[in-house]
Structure 1
Amino acid sequence: MTTRIATALALLGAVFILYIGLSYLIAPETTATGFGLPEWPTGDAVAFMNLKGVRDTVSGIAILALLAARQRYALGILTLVIALIPIGDMITVLSWNGSPAAAFGIHGVTAVLVALTGTLLLREHKTAATPQSALANS
């Protein structure tokens, strides 16, 4: 059951972040307003939206690549590391007088779900690595 939940969360997270990343690359002017900051860059500074789009798209591809390669332990480690991205986004929104609702409701919740996914993946690895005889003697 843990394996199915972890797989579903990883797939859902990958699809979600791919959608967000591609949205920032294709239509940053409409996507950016949901991030939670009070103002958006204009002129040449709009290129920073492409940076976010590339970052998010690559994150989603990395998750899918490790799922496809059946590298679940590595995926668990990666998702725990990736959970730092929405934490950084949350801190950025709060530091620049952005919306606390967006900071916690979007970025904070995302960080928790991504960390939960990583924890489940690592937990399933630990459970699989524990010999059955050791479990019986516990």
Structure 2
Amino acid sequence: MTTKICYSISFLTGIGLIFIGLRFLISPVNAEFDYGISTNTHADYSFHYIKGIRDLFSGILLVLFVLTKQRKALAMMLLAAIVVPLGDFMIVMEKDGSDWQHGIAHLTAVAICMIVGPVLLMRASKKSYPDNQISFNLIRSATDGGSTVSECDLLPGTKTPWHYHTLFSEKFEVLAGELEVGKAGRRYKLKAGDQITILANETHLFHNKSKGLCRVRTTIDPGNIQFEQAALILLGLAKDGLTNRNGIPKKFSDLALFIYLNNSKMTGVMKIVEPFLSFVAKIAIRKGRLKFLKETYCKRSGLY
């Protein structure tokens, strides 16, 4: 529960920074007043735009760390970021020593960094599972025509944000354990033997909220070779220790490539970062990272 609260505070802080950053870019004079200072720049807002870009980047990074459950990275970022609101507080108070109305806002940001950062850093790590307990089996490939059918294990805590696919539908069938599946805004708790179908362009998510592994059979219709490649790459990265305990690639470019191969389209706040993820994926492809991952993890299965 403590970790969830810290994640929630960090997420809201990230959203707030995104808003502040956009405000400095769109309405620099009003944003400057709310910051706590007033200077005559003779209509030159260059430094306002610099601050806006800084806050926008910081907010996006916070949101990404929360959504991908990068606990340690989030904690270290918050601790390192203490210098920013502390510096802001000193600037505001030096300008007008009695302006506690704006100064308190900056002190609040300092408190968030000083409290949430250490708490996240001290939280116990989740139970890890040996590689031989985690598996992915491709039962039927799109190369044979028809649907893609696979079975995989989802670790405790494994979850996705709300997203959708434009190229195929998905059917989840729980073979063992429990799985929460979100579909079109509603959530369903599935147990062994239950199944649910997600149509193309239908928003959905899944989350293994239990304390044990959940084994799921997934049917992709029509079959999709890139989806199969993404699954094999993710499994290979996990076995090589290149994912975190929730199965998310440690390397950000690998995460962007996984989303690209999966034909995953973001919703809500994540829609903001979708162009950035697409940009990162394109750079990774250009540099040959995708080719390397396919050769390393897909060649043996005949999918490259």
Tell me the equivalent position of 2:125. Answer: 128
Which structure's residues are more often strand, by fraction? Answer: 2
Cα distance in 2 for partners of 1:74, 1:41 equals 39
Structure 1 Cα separation of the partners of residues 12 and 125 of structure 2: 24
The reply on whether 1:89 has 2:88 as its aligned counterpart is yes
Whether 1:2 and 2:2 are equivalent positions in the alignment is yes
**In the alignment, structure 1 residue 22 sits paired with structure 2 residue 22:** yes
Residue by residue over 1:92-119, the C-alpha shift from the partner in whole angstroms, topping out at 9 and shown as x without a partner, is 1122235531453111111111222212
TM-score relative to the length of structure 1:
0.82
Is 1:11 matched up with 2:11?
yes
| Residue 291 (structure 2) aligns with | none
Q: Tell me how far apart the structure 1 counterparts of residues 98 and 48 of structure 2 sit (CA, whole Å).
A: 18
Q: Which has the higher helix share?
A: 1
C-alpha distance after superposition, 1:27-72 (max 9, x if no partner): 11222111112x2232254211111101100100111222233211
Identity of aligned residues (%): 29
Question: Partners in 2 of 1:111 and 1:26 — Cα distance?
Answer: 26
The amino acid across from 2:15 in the alignment is V
- Aligned 8 A contact 1:21 1:52 in 2: yes
Q: Which has the larger radius of gyration?
A: 2
- CA distance in 2 between counterparts of 1:15 and 1:40 reads 27
List structure 1 runs of 4+ shifted beyond 6 angstroms: none
Whether 1:50 aligns to 2:53 is no
**Which SS does the other structure have where 1:40 is aligned?**
coil
Whether the aligned pair in 2 keeps the contact of 1:73 and 1:121 (CA below 8 Å) is yes
Unaligned runs of 5+ in 2: 127-304
Corresponding letter in the other structure for 2:110: A
Give the 3 Å change call, closer, same or farther, for CA 95–45 of structure 1 in structure 2. Answer: farther
CA RMSD of superposed structures (Å): 2.0
Aligned residue for 1:128, secondary structure, equals coil
Q: Residue 68 of structure 1 corresponds to which residue in structure 2? A: 67
Q: Which runs of 5+ in 1 are unaligned?
A: 130-138
The 3-state SS of whatever aligns with 1:43 is coil
CA distance, structure 1, for counterparts of residue 109 and residue 25 of structure 2:
20
Distance, in Å, in 1 between the alignment partners of 2:30 and 2:103 is 21
Could you say what secondary structure the match of 2:63 adopts? helix
Q: How does the TM-score come out when normalised to structure 2? A: 0.39
